[in-house]
Structure 1
Amino acid sequence: MKKDKAIVVFSGGQDSTTCLFWAMQKFKEVETVTFDYGQKHKLEIECAKEIAEDLGVKHHILDMSLLNQLAPNALTRESIEVDEGDEGELPNTFVPGRNLLFLSFAGVLAKQVGAKHLVTGVSETDFSGYPDCRDTFIKSLNVTLNLSMDEVFVIHTPLMYLDKKGVWGLSDELGVLDIIREKTLTCYNGIKADGCGECPACKLRNHGLEQYLLNKGEK
């Protein structure tokens, strides 16, 4: 039996789109929320909008431009090139406070629209060392959200323990692997589908796909 209503934190990328399809199988009603935080590639927001429209899912876009002012990094500044970071250091694609703010505002939106479930595509396995992708952070924030609004929200993280090979496997299990491959944008250089093939996000995504297809015996 499907649960009630969920809000999916939605960027139009591989992970959040896989989460959207996962949520559509689990919940009676699903809405999406995308955050405009001044990211370099506005196509990310357009991808999210197109996918939501194609699926007939209500799509909210919230202005988070203050985050851009507070946390300049490689995802928001043309002048900063993507750097994976030295061993033990965070890559400069890390946006401090991003998941904290996104999930907090998703919780506020959920309260307004009567949703008790929040879905996000964070993962401890392929998280580039981002501290706000850890399960301990999500559990802590879940408690804080509930206390702050006197609600009983549940934050779902269907990808938490999956590597990229596993995420492709989940999308295949959901019957949407081709949609994820062709319609989403994960590339740091703003190129849809298989992307530029050179940035860290593309390398991770494409390596996971190669591993998954090899496992299935496909080329």
Structure 2
Amino acid sequence: MSEAHVKRSGRSQQRAVVLLSGGLDSATTLAVARSEGCECFALSFDYGQRHGAELDAARAVAKQLGACEHRVLSLDLAQFGGSALTDRSLAVPEQASEGIPITYVPARNTVMLALALAWAEVLAAEAIYLGVNAVDYSGYPDCRPEYIEAFERMANLATKRAVEGQPLRIAAPLIHLSKAEIIRLGQRLGVDYGLTVSCYQADDRGRACGRCDSCRLRRQGFLDAGVTDPTRYQV
């Protein structure tokens, strides 16, 4: 960080808003942001998802990884539905499928990034970190590198700080990593994956179904990484 920047901000440490779902990828992303010297402000969303276990996990992860603040915003995307994660009349698929799966939540990342952007501007944060991944991901269009690049351009057109010469960076440090690589990275950075919940249909105790797409990717990631899987399964 330049001396001029330190004088302008009055801080010797960069600030970052980190989107924290409570899953494996977002926990690793928080650890990466911290390792890169950021003062981390974690942001989670109660968006009408099937279970609250991932929010309990997010709180535990934020504490374990030393976030200086953690907020949970209510955002009821279930009012629109259109996804198996927000509409209980739609079944969560338990078999691999082609194309964009029914677990895609329309505009979720765009809405969440916009709210993270608002908090980042208030905090005078230099970056927003999120754990999207374009390798072991489930076909979601808002996890692609070109989407992240486009949102960053938009953010720096839309905010007072950027227009006044202090642009914001959208950091997606996991975007080109496999699930195994993410797990190895998190291990090196001290992430306790036993605290995380990735399952689309976990029970109230945070135990994973072991059958959904997210569970399959997670389980295979631990296997490929040669790391003991700490996930608690329902059976």
What is the TM-score with the length of structure 2 in the denominator? 0.83
- Match of 1:166? 181
Q: Which runs of 5+ in 2 are unaligned?
A: 2-11, 228-235
Q: Which runs of 5+ in 1 are unaligned?
A: 215-219
1:59 aligns with 2:70: yes
Q: Which has the higher helix share?
A: 1
- Report the AA paired with residue 82 of structure 2: P
Within 5 Å, which residues of 2 pair with 1:120-135?
Answer: 120-135=130-145
1:190-212: CA deviations, max 9, x gaps? Answer: 15777222111111101111011
Distance 1:166 1:54 in 2: 21
- Match of 2:5? none
Distance 1:183 1:48 in 2: 8
Within 5 Å, which residues of 2 pair with 1:59-78?
Answer: 59-65=70-76, 67-78=77-88
- Match of 1:140? 150
Contact 2:82 2:106 in 1 (8 A): no
- Report the AA paired with residue 184 of structure 2: G
- Against the structure 1 CA distance between its residues 130 and 140, is the aligned structure 2 distance closer, same or farther, given a 3 Å change threshold? same
Within 5 Å, which residues of 2 pair with 1:90-109?
Answer: 90-109=100-119
- Against the structure 1 CA distance between its residues 78 and 207, is the aligned structure 2 distance closer, same or farther, given a 3 Å change threshold? same
1:70-126: CA deviations, max 9, x gaps? Answer: 233111222211136743x31110011011111111000101112111000001112
Distance 1:193 1:204 in 2: 17
Contact 2:30 2:65 in 1 (8 A): no
Contact 1:194 1:206 in 2 (8 A): no
For 2:150, what is the secondary structure of its paired residue? helix
Q: Count the aligned residue pairs.
A: 209
What is the TM-score with the length of structure 1 in the denominator? 0.88
Within 5 Å, which residues of 2 pair with 1:1-219?
Answer: 4-57=14-67, 58-65=69-76, 67-83=77-93, 86-87=97-98, 89-150=99-160, 151=162, 152-176=167-191, 179-180=192-193, 182-191=194-203, 195-213=208-226
Q: Which has the larger radius of gyration?
A: 2
- Against the structure 1 CA distance between its residues 14 and 86, is the aligned structure 2 distance closer, same or farther, given a 3 Å change threshold? closer
Distance 2:223 2:200 in 1: 19
Q: 1:175, CA displacement in angstroms?
A: 3.1
Q: 1:51, CA displacement in angstroms?
A: 2.1
- Report the AA paired with residue 179 of structure 2: K
For 2:43, what is the secondary structure of its paired residue? strand
Query: Identity percentage over the alignment?
Result: 36
Compare 70-79 and 111-120 and name the one that shifted more.
Answer: 70-79
Contact 2:54 2:206 in 1 (8 A): no
- Backbone CA RMSD of aligned residues: 2.0
Contact 1:39 1:75 in 2 (8 A): yes
